[in-house]
A and B are shown apart, each in its own frame.
Chain A
Amino acid sequence: MGRSAAYDNYLNALSSEAAYDVGNFYGTDSSNPYSSINPNRYNYMKKKDMPGDKLYADLIRAQTRDYNQRFAPIENFMAGQITATGTKSLGADLDRTRSNMGSAVTNVQGQQNRDMGRMGLQGNSNVANSTTAVGGLVGGLNDTRLRDADRRQSLLSGSLSGISTKARSTGQ
């Protein structure tokens, strides 16, 4: 159901900040963070009262609000993921590497036993304890740690590095 003209007129009479809050409170069109801006709000103003400037200010406020609501939490989350040696994903990644090697070994051991069984032989291999499998696990775990350390570096020098520069230059 669409919004009534009276409700729109009411919102238009408010400042963009207040219109946004009212719209949010009543749950109307909250997906568009810029819907509360009324481009014609300052049409009646005299030129000496700087209507264009006021509308620009509304836009900047709406952009800042949008940034604070949608993007700042993501920046905080990403910054919070960084640890002294890597990222907080390291533990889960190590678990995944272990489980991948474990399931691969179990899988292959079964394949080998079935393969030997088809020829009437009993498989006597122990893939899990083989040097190759154990070496693969150790190598995989080391690789996981290295990848995590690399990830930390690229987060610090890549995604997050531009923010401070931009923050310092904002408003200049």
Chain B
Amino acid sequence: MCGGGGSDPKEQESKLALAQQAANALQRYGDVFVPLENMYIDDTKAMFAEGASDEAMAGAQNQTSAIYEQGFGDMRGAQFQMGLDPNSGRAVGESNALREAQARGMGLAGSDAGLSYTDAAYQNLGNVIQMGQGLQTQAVSGNIDRMQSSLDRAGAAAKRDFANSQSIASIAGTGAGMAAGYGLGGAG
């Protein structure tokens, strides 16, 4: 026999102190951060609700329309300056083509904003899961950032569309130069 009669093992004094420190930290986390996490979880769930992305999509469509409207004014001015009959095949054809391009641009920008919103909803869900796993979460871009990326693409498309406008090209020298004048140069 060996070790017979030895004293019972005792826990170190510091172990209870450490556990109490951890308990205090957890309670403080529960008081301060859990309500914030719950708010984030509720917001994330709301992103999956029907109609949640409507504003983001409408905003992207409106902003894209504005990009094209400015170009239309310039195209009309250029057509008048050239003495083009607005009822002529060339004027109507050019105008129709650009309107169709505008519809495509607005539709795709709105659609992209909706898809980006869904992506963000899933990314937020991922963040919640990572919170639960005790992992660091990634920052998610907000509505403004998402709309801006849609508009950057719409701006690049508008730049290409107007670069093909012969009236603008005739007046401005190059369509690309004119498009740059609309402030579309930074896009795309």
- A residues at B contact (CB < 8 Å): 31-35, 37, 39-40, 42-43, 47-48, 50-53, 55-56, 58-59, 62-63, 66-67, 70-72, 74-75, 77-78, 81, 87, 89, 92-93, 96-97, 100-105, 107-109, 111-112, 115-116, 119, 121, 124-125, 127, 130-133, 135-137, 139-140, 143-144, 147, 151, 154-155, 158-160, 162-163, 166
With contact pairs A100-B57, A136-B107 given, residues A127 and B30 touching in the complex (Cβ less than 8 Å): no
A interface majority secondary structure = helix
What chain B residues lie within 8 Å of A96 (beta carbons)?
A: 53, 57, 111, 114-115
What chain B residues lie within 8 Å of A40 (beta carbons)?
A: 20
Q: What are 24 sample pairs from A and B whose C-beta atoms fall under 8 A apart?
A: A42-B16, A43-B16, A48-B10, A48-B11, A52-B11, A59-B19, A70-B132, A74-B129, A78-B125, A93-B118, A96-B57, A96-B111, A101-B103, A102-B107, A108-B99, A108-B102, A108-B103, A112-B96, A115-B72, A132-B97, A132-B100, A136-B108, A159-B129, A159-B130
Is B128 touching A74 in the complex (CB atoms < 8 A)?
yes
Is A127 touching B100 in the complex (CB atoms < 8 A)?
yes
CB-based nearest A residue for B9: A48
Number of residue pairs A-B, CB distance < 8 angstroms: 226
CB-based nearest B residue for A147: B115
Is A74 touching B125 in the complex (CB atoms < 8 A)?
yes
* B61 within 8 Å of A (CB atoms): yes
* B167 within 8 Å of A (CB atoms): no
With contact pairs A34-B27, A50-B11, A56-B22 given, residues A100 and B128 touching in the complex (Cβ less than 8 Å): no
* B92 within 8 Å of A (CB atoms): yes
